[in-house]
Structure 1
Amino acid sequence: MMLKLNPGAAVAAASFAALSALPFDASAGVVDDFRQAHAAGITTHAAEIDNDSLLLKRDDGFYTSGLRYTQQWTASTAGGMVRGGWRVGQELYTASDIKLPPARVGPPDHPYAAWLYAGVFSERHAADGSHARVGVDVGCLGPCAGGERTQNTLHRILNQPLPQAWSRQVRNEVGVVLHGEVAPMRWTPAPFLDVTPSIKGRLGNIYTDAGFSVLARAGRLNLLPNQPTLHGYLRLDGRWVGYNASLQGGYFSSGNPHTVAPKRLVGEAEAGVAWLQGPFEAMVGVVRRSNEIRDLPNSFGSQNYLRLILSYTH
């Protein structure tokens, strides 16, 4: 008798294994690191924008916008640093063409969806390049996330066409997502070059996936994230998708206008420049994400967007 493996369950198990690899004591380490960073650390405010319109094109679709604000505290430790913080963000997803009327939005095109969330996180970094991070986000998927109002406002500011089919977005669902990442080492073949591999995972009713990432940097490098730097970088990601509510609707919701099946393997590449000097930090990169929808041609479903991060420390 053959047992049929459920892809979502398999990826959930892989995600749990990735999160379990984090070198934290679940009952004390995460909380202690957060408290130490908050009590003794310096404060950083960071704004992050993902948007395909920043590439100076007038059409957008799929993952069309991501907005995040983070406040974090960083404290030095023997041989490294700890960080703790909180964040709030919003992600917007639309059909491939926002000018399509509601009646023409359906499979295999991307559903309209918005995810509004807030969360906390704790992380450790060592001078040898190893690091670990764990956190949890809680939020709302669907009309409660305010995606229609946000996108209409942005498009009026940018003088772009208004989206036509937010009336067919996925239904409301409260979501919880546990996320984590661990990098066991950093390889430094030259003083101006390093490569850091990591594993990461998310587990929840909005996103469940597990993946592997490689980050290569070249330039004036820093050993720890809060040190001065000026470098170019290339990040390559691959992830196995168990559940993606922006495509499938919330895990516990039903009656969605339309949903689509995700591709189980999704790749992403990002190339950019990072700079940190004194209290100011900036990072800009171009991201190429592969097709996320099983029944769309890869040439049609892939997408490009620009990522911009600005931060100030005091």
Structure 2
Amino acid sequence: MKIKLLAIAACLLGSVTSFAQNRGHEIGFQSDNDSFLAQGSDRYYTNGFFLFYRVAHDPAKMGKRMRDDVANAVFGFELGQKIYNARSGNLPDASFVDRPFAGYLYLGFNGNVLYKNETTIKLGVKVGVVGPAAGGYQIQKFIHNTFGFYELNSWQYQVRNAAQLNLNLDVNKLLARSSAADLTVTGYVNAGTGFNAIGVGPMVRLGNFNQLFQSVSTQSTASRNAANQLLHNTELFFYYKPQINAVAYDATAQGNIFKDHPEPGTQEIVGDINHVVFSNQLGVSYASSRFVVDLSAFINTREVKQMVKSTHQWGSLTVLYRFN
């Protein structure tokens, strides 16, 4: 009798585990801010906030060729805002603007196809605006007033309004793996009216991680594929992701791609970008049956030639809730 009860319990536990692995929806947010790293700075990329909704598609319902090759497919919506400062939001005069002020507001959609051989391809489109209509000044003023920070006085120099239509492609490919470490090559291409760049680099993971087709690392924790045999029911790992970026255009620093700058009759200040930028991301990721949490830090080299600081950094917190 005891053996039968243990067998039933094991079956139930296995069902719960499998069920937990395959939750088809997730919703959550990401918050970026340079103050998260306790550096006492308020400069350059100073704040970002993003809302996410993702839903998985069952590969078994795809065509035969896709069924044979695809382990997971995730589609997502994203609403985001980024805010950029000069060295401070309170400057004596225009000559101190070493990085253009800008807000970027967008709505995005993406499709993420993840293959059994641990190659992933994510294609997205973002529609939005750079400039005063993005609300960067209003949000930063609200934050500063709410938390008693210094008074802003320099947003009159921000880049002018420019409608945005941008495409992005992200690719990952597993290179090697042991029981507690793996190595992936990652790359991206951005193209559109505001952001044109390409980047590539390695990603190293250490700890309890899953395959790239169902992991925090590839924004693919949502899944409807019950056949996926994961390495771990819970992810908890450290990662390091250095990258070299070739940048052709950045509307938050250079303004509207279709106009001469600064625009006549405005106080707009734009900058000259560095076309090669090195970035470093390191962090810790956790994913359970219900929750996904990622804590990371970014350190970038100078993106605009006029920037007085050779690097800038910020912290990022992502929290997602998974459901059926």
Report the TM-score, using the length of structure 1 for normalisation. Answer: 0.81
- Do the aligned residues in 2 keep the contact of 1:105 with 1:111 (CA within 8 Å)? no
Q: Is the 2:209–2:235 contact (alpha carbons within 8 Å) kept by the matching residues of 1?
A: yes
Aligned match of 2:130: 141
Equivalent residue number for residue 192 of structure 1? 180
Give the deviation of 1:214 after TM superposition: 1.5
Which among 51, 71, 85 is matched to residue 69 of structure 1?
A: 51
Give the residue type in structure 1 aligned to 2:112.
E
**Does the CA contact (< 8 Å) of 1:102 and 1:164 recur in 2?**
no
Answering whether residue 256 of structure 2 is matched by residue 280 of structure 1, we say: no
Structure 2: which amino acid aligns with 1:44? E
Q: Which residue, 288, 291, 300 being the options, matches 2:302? A: 291
Query: What SS does the aligned partner of 2:150 have?
Result: coil
Paired residue for 1:103, among 94, 101, 113? 94
Correspondence list, 1:104-119, <5 A: 104-106=95-97, 109-119=98-108
Contact 2:107 2:128 in 1 (8 A): yes
Which amino acid letter does the alignment assign opposite residue 310 of structure 2? G
Structure 1 distance, partners of 2:77, 2:177, is 35
Seen in structure 2, the aligned counterparts of structure 1 residues 127 and 231 have a Cα distance that, compared at 3 Å, is farther
Alpha-carbon distance in structure 1 between the residues aligned to 2:151 and 2:288:
39
Distance in structure 1 (CA, Å) of the matches to 2:71 and 2:113: 8
Does the CA contact (< 8 Å) of 2:29 and 2:50 recur in 1? yes
CA contact (8 A) 1:41 1:76 kept: no
AA aligned opposite 1:67: F
Q: Does 1:201 align with 2:201?
A: no
Contact 1:172 1:253 in 2 (8 A): no
Amino acid at match of 1:147: G
Residue 78 of structure 2 is matched in structure 1 by: 87
Q: Report matched runs for 1:155-194 at 5 Å.
A: 155-183=144-172, 185-194=173-182
Structure 2 CA distance for partners of 1:243 and 1:214, relative to 1, 3 Å? same
Partner of residue 117 from structure 2, selected from 113, 128, 133: 128
Kindly name which structure, 1 or 2, has the bigger radius of gyration based on alpha carbons. Answer: 2
Code of the residue aligned with 1:181 in structure 2: it is: D
- SS, match of residue 186 in structure 1: strand
User: In the superposition, relative to structure 1, how do residues 58 and 66 fare at CA in structure 2: closer, same or farther (>3 Å)?
Assistant: same
The one-letter amino acid paired with 1:167 is: Q
Q: Distance in 2 between matches of 1:162 and 1:74?
A: 44
Cα RMSD of the aligned pairs, angstroms, is: 1.8
Unaligned stretches of 5+ in structure 2?
A: 1-21, 60-66, 216-220, 222-232
Residue 158 of structure 1 and its aligned partner are, at CA, apart by: 2.9
Partner SS, residue 166 of structure 2: strand
1:121–1:133 contact (8 Å) kept in structure 2: yes
Counting only pairs closer than 5 Å after superposition, residues 241-252 of structure 1 correspond to structure 2 as: 241-252=247-258
- C-alpha deviation, 1:41, in angstroms: 7.4
Specify the alignment match of 1:308 in structure 2.
317
* Whole-angstrom CA distance in 2 between matches of 1:276 and 1:41: 12
Q: Distance in 2 between matches of 1:281 and 1:313?
A: 8
Query: 5+ residue gaps in structure 1?
Result: 1-39
Structure 1 runs of 4+ aligned residues shifted over 3 Å read 101-106, 253-256
Aligned equivalent of 1:262, options 259, 267, 273: 273
Percent sequence identity over matched residues?
23
The answer (yes or no) to whether the contact 2:99–2:307 under 8 Å persists in 1 is no
The 1-side partners of 2:189 and 2:304 are apart by 20
Mapping of residues 209-220 of structure 1, within 5 Å = 209-220=197-208
Q: How many positions carry a matched residue from both structures? A: 270
SS in 2 for 1:209: strand
Kindly indicate whether the alpha-carbon contact (under 8 Å) linking 1:41 and 1:75 is maintained by their aligned counterparts in 2.
Answer: no
Q: 1:59 to 1:246 in 2, by over 3 A?
A: same
- Cα separation, 2, equivalents of 1:182 and 1:147: 30
Q: Distance in 2 between matches of 1:69 and 1:263?
A: 30
| 1:239 Cα deviation after fit | 0.8
